[in-house]
Amino acid sequence: MKTDLNDILQKNGNFSKEELVFLLSLQGSDMQKLLDKALEVKLKYLDNKVRLRGLIEYSNKCRKNCLYCGLRSSNTSVKRYELSEDEVIECAKMAMDSHYGSIAIQSGERQDKEFVEKIEYLIKKVKQISNNKLGITLSLGEQSFETYKRWFDAGAHRYLLRIEASNKNLYYKIHPENELHSYENRISCIDNLLKTGYQTGTGVMIGLPFQTKEDLADDLLFFKAKNVAMVGMGPFIPHPDTPLWQYKDLIPDKRERMRLTLKMIAVLRLMMPQINMVSATANQTIDESGREKAVVCGANVIMPNLSPEENREEYSIYPDKACVHDKPDQCRNCLDIRMHTIDHEILYDDWGDSLAFTKTHPEQAGLK
Ligand code: SAM
Ligand code: SF4
């Protein structure tokens, strides 16, 4: 195939799989051309505003045993915790005091009645104490349709459930092959979230062992086919207490994983110009200015951590997580400065909804 980068970049994001692999393989000045084009498209279809989600890491108790994650149930070296109601409310108040328009509640996965009811209660409580000012994103894994609906009706309006790897073979290389980790169920959960009415997000880890550029191209096509409103993807970071650690020498080095992540974000921005895209904390963990690099090639959402400091170390998805000791006021100043240096601004006191969603669901655009 004779491929000309300039021709491909003129295609308004309608790329074939072959072209996607070509774009993901760019290096040096060609790669920079791709990243610059993605920034141009973001500024044209969105703006230079960065939306915030104050992250609350609700609990590290998890039923599942994903082969990459430090919170997996078989990892006995983790001290398990669950935040109290007061702690969650305290975090939500911190979000309001810091003028973050939204919070994101993330947790290990549980489906028991107590968990489902507690989350429902907390959503209602946050809505009540904030006078409906705080938007709520959830990232609480696979649940039944009824549970998704219950939490939506309680007031959560966005949900992030990464597919992790859209290739079924790869999925089962990074998850145990059993009922609790069913690829089909993951897909049907994403479909149920879309059906429930959430602004639905998905995503993948980048630089996994056994993952090819063809897999990543298929991931991008998967996001487009599902027509999701948000995507959160970031580099895979091997954790020593997980089974995938044994393959750490097979994966691209940090710099290459960062480059691949930036190319994935940039290409997706060209394909889906108005979706919300997160610059994952993992970016900053493998590259000191990784968060900014992702913003200048297409990402428009950042998730500053609001979790109580004493629990952050225990929410150890991967080692050496960035910003573990930052206080909210330090975090806000640091973010303001970092965003100004790249000619971006933080959008305060706003839910920061996905324009891709509000355009296709005008009836829900006035939720606020
Ligand atoms: N339990 C929920 C779930 O799995 O959807 C939400 C919490 S989970 C910790 C959030 C995300 O962390 C996952 O979707 C996964 O992509 C990411 N993650 C887990 N282990 C990781 C690792 N070693 N490197 C990078 N990201 C990781
Ligand atoms: Fe649990 Fe989510 Fe980690 Fe899997 S990725 S082990 S579901 S917290």
Number of neighbours of residue 368 by Cβ within 10 angstroms? 11
Q: Is 64 in the pocket of ligand 1 (CB under 6 A)?
A: no
> Identity (one letter) of the amino acid at 362?
P
Q: Take residue 94 and report the two structure tokens written for it.
A: 């911190």
Cβ atoms 356, 229 nearer than 8 A: yes
pLDDT at 368: 46
Q: Return the residue matching tokens 């609990």.
A: 59
Q: Take residue 334 and report the two structure tokens written for it.
A: 């640091």
Which backbone phi and psi does 20 adopt, to 5 degrees? -65, -45
Q: Take residue 151 and report the two structure tokens written for it.
A: 């939490």
DSSP-assigned beta bridge partners for residue 55: 104, 305
Please write the tens of the pLDDT for every residue from 226-282.
Answer: 999 999 999 999 999 999 999 999 999 999 999 999 999 999 999 999 999 999 999
Using the mean position of ligand 2's atoms as its centre, give its distance from the Cα of residue 110 in Å.
Answer: 10
Q: Which among 66, 35, 109, 79 is positioned nearest to 297, based on CA atoms? A: 35
CATH number for region 14-357: 3.20.20.70
pLDDT at 328: 67
Among 62, 76, 233, 244, the mutation site with the greatest number of ligand 2 atoms within 8 A of its Cβ is 62
DSSP annotation of 254: H
Nearest CA to ligand 2 atom 4: 66
Q: Is 161 in the pocket of ligand 1 (CB under 6 A)?
A: yes
Below-50 pLDDT ranges, the chain: 368
Q: Which among 234, 261, 238, 262 is positioned nearest to 250, based on CA atoms? A: 238
Using the mean position of ligand 1's atoms as its centre, give its distance from the Cα of residue 69 in Å.
Answer: 6
> Identity (one letter) of the amino acid at 139?
S
What is the rounded distance in angstroms from the CA atom of residue 78 to the CA atom of residue 194? 33
Nearest CA to ligand 2 atom 8: 108
Using the mean position of ligand 2's atoms as its centre, give its distance from the Cα of residue 126 in Å.
Answer: 25
Number of neighbours of residue 65 by Cβ within 10 angstroms? 18
CA angle 284, 285, 288 (to 5 degrees): 50
Ligand 2 neighbours (beta carbon < 6 A): 62, 64, 66, 69, 71-72, 108-109, 141
DSSP annotation of 134: S
Cβ atoms 75, 25 nearer than 8 A: no
Helices 183-196 and 145-154 meet at what angle, rounded to 10?
Answer: 30
DSSP-assigned beta bridge partners for residue 201: 160, 230
Please tell me the number of the ligand nearest to residue 61's CA: 2
Nearest CA to ligand 1 atom 5: 141
Using the mean position of ligand 1's atoms as its centre, give its distance from the Cα of residue 44 in Å.
Answer: 31
